């Protein structure tokens, strides 16, 4: 059954990502058609065509490699400033640009001249190109807001002052996780009579509002007397004991053992819940973190390459490909200790996370990404606006074809990084903790 669940998890993830890609491309197509553009192809996947059907002027289909998708909007590249589609220059970059222009115009038929993408108003071009990644971010938002409002945010754990577990004995930190034996001393919390569900409201006379406040007081108390006021079944009760000194990590980020006061309670931890505004705030934080991650992406991918050849350990917090995401989805579905509800929540969070990253990544202002075309349209608006303000001749449309050499370099770099991540996810995969 484990293999069946693993396969089911992978299939669910792959189908969800393919649907996300399909909706991404649909975002481009719908707005391009709405503004009068001509869309000749709408495909999910790359490589050989598995299935296709032409409806009207658009061919819809599925290709064999499920790693992306595309829509073909005619007229993305304009003629050069002299109106030429192909030049006789022999320079490599000039020839690449010239060939791209010619290939673009092979699809232009009589009557299409006013439907070309490059002739659209700059704001229409922005909407068409932004619609795709915006759909991915919208998918992420819908999933996040549903989960955060119902189940809670598993990345934002709220630790309360309510007791979830009372440790019956004191186990050395190095042996954490084992059961008590006859030689282990009774924990101060058990000795005091603390119970599951008790809400600690004061410690040695100091009101407690946050778990961090209580934790600090306990650690500072060493082996001193502890007077604990709790709310149990709606009534206040005072319990007394003495904390003991134990070696525990200095903090959550510092594993260095330090001699501190110890009580022996585990607090109740729950995912933080919230609605629309909470979700927007969380996605704002995600945006900042994603931008930082994108800035360091080449370095992190280099680290994956080092892990592949055995020069270092794979960073469990590092980037992964869709292949890695599928493996994590499969491990989640096959995990025997996870309840079905938690499995579903984790899979939804995984799909939402991938959608959010895909959306943000496509907004990077570099060709051939959507953000590169958006940047070109915005630059066109600035140039024309500045010329109009100064009463100068209209500078015309921005010729994004001139940036194709950069686009090829960027596309090549993305391809190399994608291959490294896929190989890394196969050779040194990140596993579910």
Residues involved in catalysis: 25
Cα separation, 416 vs 323, whole angstroms? 15
Helix %, strand %, coil % of the chain (to 5): 50, 20, 30
Q: C-alpha distances in angstroms, 180 versus 165, 175, 244, 247, 318?
A: 14, 10, 17, 17, 37
DSSP single-letter state for residue 114: G
Cα separation, 353 vs 108, whole angstroms? 39
Q: What phi and psi, each to the nearest 5 degrees, are found at residue 236? A: -80, 135
Q: What phi and psi, each to the nearest 5 degrees, are found at residue 170? A: -100, 115
**Cβ(80)–Cβ(388) below 8 Å:** no
Cα separation, 1 vs 338, whole angstroms? 15
**Cβ(148)–Cβ(278) below 8 Å:** yes
Beta bridge partners of 59: 41, 54
Cα separation, 429 vs 423, whole angstroms? 9
**Cβ(126)–Cβ(25) below 8 Å:** no
**Cβ(174)–Cβ(257) below 8 Å:** no
Which pair of tokens denotes residue 56? 């009207």
Cα separation, 206 vs 226, whole angstroms? 11
Q: In 3D, which of 266, 270, 269 has the Cα closest to residue 166?
A: 266
Sign of CA dihedral 133, 136, 141, 144: negative
Cα separation, 194 vs 245, whole angstroms? 19
Angle among Cα 349, 350, 351 to the nearest 5 degrees reads 90
Which pair of tokens denotes residue 301? 């991918």
**Cβ(159)–Cβ(252) below 8 Å:** no
Which pair of tokens denotes residue 385? 């606006």
Q: In 3D, which of 192, 91, 315 has the Cα closest to residue 200?
A: 192
């Amino acid at each position: 059954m484990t293999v069946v669940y693993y396969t089911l998890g992978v299939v669910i993830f792959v189908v969800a990502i393919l649907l996300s890609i399909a909706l991404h491309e649909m975002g481009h197509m719908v707005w391009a058609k709405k503004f009068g553009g001509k869309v000749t192809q709408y495909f999910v996947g790359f490589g050989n065509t598995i299935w296709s059907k032409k409806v009207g002027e658009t061919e819809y289909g599925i290709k064999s490699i499920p790693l992306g998708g595309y829509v073909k909007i005619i007229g993305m590249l304009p003629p050069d400033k002299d109106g030429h589609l192909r030049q006789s220059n022999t320079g490599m970059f000039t020839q690449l640009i010239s060939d791209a222009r010619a290939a673009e115009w092979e699809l232009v038929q009589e009557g299409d001249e006013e439907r070309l993408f490059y002739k659209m108003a700059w704001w229409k071009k922005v909407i068409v190109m932004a619609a795709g990644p915006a759909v991915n971010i919208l998918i992420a938002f819908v999933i996040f807001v549903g989960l955060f409002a119902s189940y809670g945010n598993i990345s934002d754990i709220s630790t309360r002052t309510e007791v979830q577990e009372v440790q019956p004995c004191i186990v050395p930190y190095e042996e954490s996780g084992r059961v008590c034996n006859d030689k282990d001393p009774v924990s101060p919390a058990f000795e005091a009579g603390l119970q599951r569900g008790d809400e600690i409201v004061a410690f040695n006379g100091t009101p407690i509002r946050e778990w961090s406040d209580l934790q600090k007081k306990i650690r500072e108390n060493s082996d001193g007397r502890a007077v604990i006021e709790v709310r149990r079944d709606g009534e206040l009760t005072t319990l007394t004991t003495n904390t003991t000194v134990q070696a525990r990590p200095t903090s959550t980020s510092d594993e260095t053992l330090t001699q501190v006061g110890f009580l022996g309670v585990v607090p109740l931890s729950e995912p933080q819940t919230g609605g629309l505004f909470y979700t927007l705030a969380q996605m704002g934080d995600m945006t900042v973190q994603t931008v930082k991650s994108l800035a360091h992406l080449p370095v992190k991918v280099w680290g994956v390459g080092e892990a592949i050849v055995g020069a270092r350990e794979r960073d469990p917090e590092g980037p992964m490909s869709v292949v890695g995401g599928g493996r994590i989805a499969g491990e989640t579905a096959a995990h025997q200790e996870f309840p079905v509800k938690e499995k579903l929540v984790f899979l939804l969070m995984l799909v939402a996370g991938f959608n959010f990253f895909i959306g943000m990544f496509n907004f990077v202002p570099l060709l051939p990404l959507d953000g590169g075309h958006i940047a070109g349209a915005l630059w066109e608006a600035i140039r024309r606006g500045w010329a109009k303000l100064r009463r100068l001749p209209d500078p015309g449309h921005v010729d994004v074809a001139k940036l194709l050499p950069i686009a090829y370099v960027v596309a090549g770099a993305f391809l190399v990084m994608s291959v490294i991540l896929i190989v890394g996810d196969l050779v040194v995969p990140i596993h579910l903790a």
